[in-house]
Structure 1
Amino acid sequence: MNFMRKAEQSHSYGVIGLGRFGKALSLALAASGHELLVIDADEDKIRQLREYTENAFVVKTLDKESLSDTGIQNCDTVVVCIGEKMDVCILTVLYLNALGIQRVIAKANSEEHGEILKKLGAEVVFPEHDMAVRLARRLETSKMINYIELSEKVDISTLRIPEAFIGETIGSVDVRKRFGLNIIAVENPAGVMTELTSDYRFTEEDSIVVIGDREKINALEAKCY
């Protein structure tokens, strides 16, 4: 069976390697309703994933022809989750590039491995490192509720409302001018507001979602808490 992307799907994903990281990623993508293709050499792992996607293939040897036979070239994004096998991972990225995949993301287990993958045009992830960074950031301050790393410098963070902001308006606190950050949402028990005006007045039940440079977010936390 060859995977063909459905016309109504806005984005389709391929996952190669169903270790802990690959399986968790696949389940999350499937739960989000995305069109998904998964590949692994282990028949038991593939059998488990067939409950979530019909596009689950046992591929014993990852070469260009075998990958093409699955139809993975019809995926918009493919994630290579076999970082522990550096040589296989590198060759797989090369094959995916040759098949014309729009976006290739690869798991790396070392900085050296990551540098090679970057030179091949892949986006690189370090799952264990990234999880450690996220945990450290959440432990850094009890005022930070959530944190998303967009790049090496830019974050989205959800913060409990600074005491100094309570009773003030968005316009009067002027986070953009004072801290170089943008407030993109306000959360409270009533819900999430994304269409904000400068006359919105903060309450003690609010949390603010800000986007910007990581150091500037840290400066906001230090200034206000």
Structure 2
Amino acid sequence: MSARGNGGKSHGVVVVGLGRFGTYLAASLTQLGHEVLAIDRDPQTVQRWSSQLDQVVQADSTDETALRQLGIADYERVVVCIGAAVEASVLTVLAVTEVGGSTIWARATSRKHARILSAVGAQHVVFPEAETGERVAHLIVSKMLDFIEFGDDFAIAKVRVPQPLIGRALAEVAPDDRFGVMVVGAKLPGERFEYATPATVLTEGSLLIVEGSIEQVGRFAGMT
């Protein structure tokens, strides 16, 4: 029996569309311990994934009656992973909206597609290909090892200590004033990450957790 929220809804997730994105998402959610109800209209796809996911059903996700019969109104979250078939994607979001009660996430393949999905009821729209491409581009052309971007003006990144700063304390470097970034954590060789202080010395081989805009962090990481 799945856990229920205060409103009696399941904490599980409905994943609609078992293409590449949908299957990765469903598998990841399952590995994280979440109940997943996966839906696809192709019987061969359903058969292929039935042994790997707990609940996989064949259904037309654009059919409101079919969705009601599957009980998706009992789930807090529905993710519409249909990408190339734009009409099916939009009609599925519309059908889930009509069933009501669930937070809807939807995959878009273009900005126009995203606007339509939002207009018919999707609260969250994601661009997995575009977001991945942008992320990889930043990593290729910068010296950041990893990063998370929160909007246009704030990011948190993992970087190596820039060569010119090796052996200097943060109080001396003053990264906030000079570079517009804040060093919030440091991992010295052989040790764990710790919160950085003005006395933290930037030793060679150390990793830093830095916050600022993506451009500021990129310039800091690439300092030579």
Do they superpose with TM above 0.5?
A: yes
CA RMSD of aligned residues (A): 2.7
Number of matched residues?
218
Residues 77 and 101, structure 1, Cα contact 8 Å, conserved in 2: yes
The residue that corresponds to 1:83 in the other structure is 83
Q: CA deviation at 1:78?
A: 2.3
Identity of aligned residues (%): 31
Q: Is the 1:185–1:192 Cα contact (8 Å) retained in structure 2?
A: no
Which residue is 2:130 aligned to?
Answer: 129
Aligned partner of 1:113: which letter? H
Amino acid at match of 1:132: G
Residues 119-161 of structure 1: CA deviation (Å, up to 9, x unaligned): 34432222222222122111102x2211333334433321111
Structure 1 residue ranges without an equivalent (≥5): none
SS in 1 for 2:68: helix
Question: What residue is the counterpart of 1:6 in the other structure?
Answer: 3
Per-residue deviation at 1:61? Answer: 4.4
1:168-187 Cα deviation digits (max 9, x unpaired): 33444333343343434334
Aligned match of 2:157: 157
Which residue number corresponds to residue 63 of structure 1? 63
1:24 paired residue number: 24
Per-residue deviation, 1:218: 2.8
Secondary structure of 1:76's match?
A: strand
Larger radius of gyration: 2
CA shift, 1:40, in A, is 0.8
Equivalent-residue separation in structure 2 for 1:189 and 1:27 (angstroms): 35
* Aligned pairs for 1:189-200 within 5 A: 189-200=189-200
Residues 69-112 of structure 1 show CA distances to partners (whole Å, capped at 9, x for unaligned) of 3233343332211121222211222233342213x221112221
Separation in structure 2 between the aligned mates of residue 19 and residue 69 of structure 1, nearest angstrom: 23
Determine if contact 1:106/1:124 at 8 Å carries over to the other structure.
yes
| CA distance 1:87–1:219, shift in 2 (3 Å) | same
Give the stretch that moved more between structures: 166-175 or 197-206: 166-175
Q: CA 1:153–1:90 in 2, change beyond 3 Å: closer, same or farther?
A: farther
TM-score normalised by length of structure 2: 0.81
Structure 1 runs of 4+ with >6 Å offset: none
Q: 1:11 to 1:60 in 2, by over 3 A?
A: closer
Q: TM-score when scaled to structure 1? A: 0.81
C-alpha distance 145-35 of structure 1, shift in aligned 2 (>3 A): same
**Unaligned stretches of 5+ residues in structure 2:** none
CA separation in 2, counterparts of 1:191 and 1:70?
Answer: 51
